[in-house]
Amino acid sequence: MSLASGSPAAPDATQARALGASAGPVRVGGSPFVDAHVVGTVRERIPTLIIDEHGAMARVVAGRIAALMRERAAAGRTVVLGLATGSTPIGVYRELIRLHREEGLSFRHVVSFNLDEYYPMQKDSIHSYHRFMWENLFSHVDIDPANVHIPDGALARADVDAACRAYEDAIEAAGGIDFQLLGIGKTGHIGFNEPGSGENSRTRLVHLDSITRRDAAADFFGEDNVPREAITMGIATIMGAREIVILATGEHKAGVVRRSVEGEIDRAVAATFLQRHPNTTFYVDDAAGAELTRVATPWLIDEVHWDEHLMVRAVTWLAAKCNKAILKLTQHDYAENNLTSLVAQHGSPGAVNGLVFNYLGAKIRGKSKLPRGLKTICFSPHPDDDVISMGGILRKFVENGNEMTVAYMTSGNIAVFDHDVRRYMDFLVRLNAERIGEGANVTQLAATVHDFLQRKQPGQVDIPEVQDIKRIIRESEAVSGIEVMGLTKANARFLNLPFYQTGKVRKDPIGPADVAIVADLLREQMPDLIFVAGDLSDPHGTHRMCKEAIDRAVAEVYVGEMAAKRPEIWLYRGAWQEWPITEATVLVPLSQEELTIKIQAIFKHQSQKDSAPFPGQDEREFWQRVEQRNKTTAAQLDQLGLAEYFAMEAYVIA
């Protein structure tokens, strides 16, 4: 997608699917998108655009900001931007930096106000939003530092109220916010306006919701380290902006996106207040927009074109709604749920039922129906995703005589507790002293490590020695895990991609070096089939970034004469969710014994056992999530009237 310099960029019609409150072109920033006409509906109360490719989303939003900046600069006026932090807007900031460097976009006429800051928080802290904004935007452009405004988290508590009033006065003195960029939290908070925030609220000190603090736990290396308060713009401050854009990505945001866009205005979900704003647009990817009515159940809105995929979704939905097996659905069931056109197309309910029943049944592949004798690579973003997500099929592939390589893409070292490092160092010192010799080198290393860990602050980047120890811990666990599956350390490859090697939760963008490592492995192995993590709920985005590296490497390697040798790609999901049975291409049944072996392989990852450093919102251990999700997938088929299995994994063939 190209961005026209000096004018708002419209998304390509194949990339954006927009739905507003009335028929006609969707408007973003007051400019109609000529190629994004839609059918009207009253369900969506905030115009919402679905742009699945994250780079495209960033380019569209950055293009709108750039157009506004150029327009004001040409008139000799400043533009006032309200800015957000977090992983979602980083792509927008990177695109703005590119426009500055490559197309001369100047920030000299920009005044910025950030949404929020943790309290208490020193500006130079690795966790501060002040540092985030300078590292991810301001230090790379020509903005006047005097024009940058970020709430001060280092103030004495007695000075906070006055500083908040001064922040509001500064916004007013600047002429108000022209363009406000927002993300959305799982509770529907915008800024740090948590459930219960009032529509008339202004910049103030707030207490953080427990869900918000749990979401931030990964950044702070533990929920206990997350501040309990923050300074944030209020709802009224945000609503005062002339134009608002709110971004959401990932399936973990799907529920709150639907609630914000289609639900009633409610103080429990701050984003619903945006329904009252005259110029707000939601930008979401496919995953975040998946629960919108027009996506999840479009037949409830208007006439639809019944292709095979939509038919399967509709009938599966109907069976669940009626609590019936597919083959027992009646004409009455279809008529009561806006699905008579589907029956009419196929002649009778029985015909539709039979088609869907057979379609789902054909997806089930036991060991006898799985590939044999293929050269296969399983790409595992972290050192445990292989056994967590596809331990069942991994063992079946080994038993079927497939040549397996498990490629661990990152070290996963930040997900090892410090106490594990101390334990392993103590083990080495004792072993070295009693069995190897004097132990001078190990003792010196242990002293260095123990001294650092003693002084280490929450979230501080580990020294190289500690990073290496944590990496080795996870590598040894990974080998132990695949040994349960019948593989050996010879089947393991540790790629240690550079993008991950920041020592922090936030990673560098995928670069040429990352792609080259993956491409070299593909050229070396020339696999027939590869497994790739297609998970969209990974809370810190590593799965998504690893998939990007693989996609780029595949595109680089399999061109020209090599295109015919492109491997088949099977997508699996990570520790958070399973593919829905309607989306999956292949359903792999597991016996009770096979599920037990899979769980035993997960147990080998002892550094992630009992209490993982980054569990997400689900407090259960990874093996418990796996057991529940694999059994649930099997139970869904049983409820639909298909064959009954103990457990089941799901895959999508890309």
pLDDT for the residue numbered 16: 42
The pTM score is 0.82
Indicate which CATH number applies to the domain containing 257: 3.40.50.1360
pLDDT for the residue numbered 575: 67
More confident residue, 224 or 274: 274
Mean pLDDT of the chain: 88
Cβ-based neighbours of 633, under 8 Å, separated by 6 or more = 578, 581, 587, 647, 648, 649, 650
Indicate which CATH number applies to the domain containing 574: 3.40.50.10320
158/218 same-domain check? yes
199/84 same-domain check? yes
Cβ-based neighbours of 191, under 8 Å, separated by 6 or more = 84, 115, 116, 182, 232, 233, 234, 238
Q: Domain for residue 618, yes or no?
A: yes
Angle formed at CA 589 by CA 587 and CA 595, multiple of 5 degrees: 125
Q: Domain for residue 281, yes or no?
A: yes
pLDDT band for 425, please (50, 70, 90 cuts). confident
| Domain finish residue from 245, 260, 294 | 294
Range of the domain at 475: 367-417+454-653
Q: Rg of the Cα trace of the chain?
A: 26
pLDDT for the residue numbered 538: 54
pLDDT for the residue numbered 568: 98
489/634 same-domain check? yes
Name the residue among 413, 510, 424 with its Cα closest to residue 461: 413
Name the residue among 592, 507, 493 with its Cα closest to residue 542: 507
Whether the Cβ atoms of residue 406 and residue 389 lie closer than 8 Å to each other: no
206/268 same-domain check? yes
Q: Domain for residue 426, yes or no?
A: no
Lowest mean pLDDT among 134-143, 411-420, 625-634: 411-420
374/350 same-domain check? no
Name the residue among 473, 478, 467, 475 with its Cα closest to residue 384: 478
Q: Domain for residue 544, yes or no?
A: yes
pLDDT band for 612, please (50, 70, 90 cuts). low
357/371 same-domain check? no
Please identify every residue annotated as catalytic: 194
pLDDT for the residue numbered 633: 96
Whether the Cβ atoms of residue 66 and residue 101 lie closer than 8 Å to each other: no
Q: Domain for residue 55, yes or no?
A: yes
255/130 same-domain check? yes
202/315 same-domain check? no
**What total of structural domains would you count in the chain?**
3
What share of residues in the chain are helix, strand, coil (percent, to 5)? 45, 15, 40
Cβ-based neighbours of 277, under 8 Å, separated by 6 or more = 239, 241, 244
203/345 same-domain check? no
**Is residue 552 predicted with pLDDT exceeding 50?**
yes
| Domain finish residue from 247, 262, 294 | 294
pLDDT for the residue numbered 256: 96
| Domain finish residue from 270, 294, 318 | 294
* Strands 586-590 vs 647-653: parallel, antiparallel or unpaired: antiparallel
**Is residue 116 predicted with pLDDT exceeding 70?**
yes
More confident residue, 572 or 34: 572
Q: Domain for residue 527, yes or no?
A: yes
pLDDT band for 433, please (50, 70, 90 cuts). confident
For residue 150, give both structure tokens. 């970020």
604/504 same-domain check? yes
Instruction: Identify any residues that bridge with 151 across adjacent strands, giving them in sequence order.
Output: none
599/637 same-domain check? yes
Q: Domain for residue 442, yes or no?
A: no
245/339 same-domain check? no
Q: State what percent of residues in the chain have pLDDT above 90.
A: 71
Q: Report phi then psi at 379, rounded to 5.
A: -85, 120
Q: Domain for residue 10, yes or no?
A: no
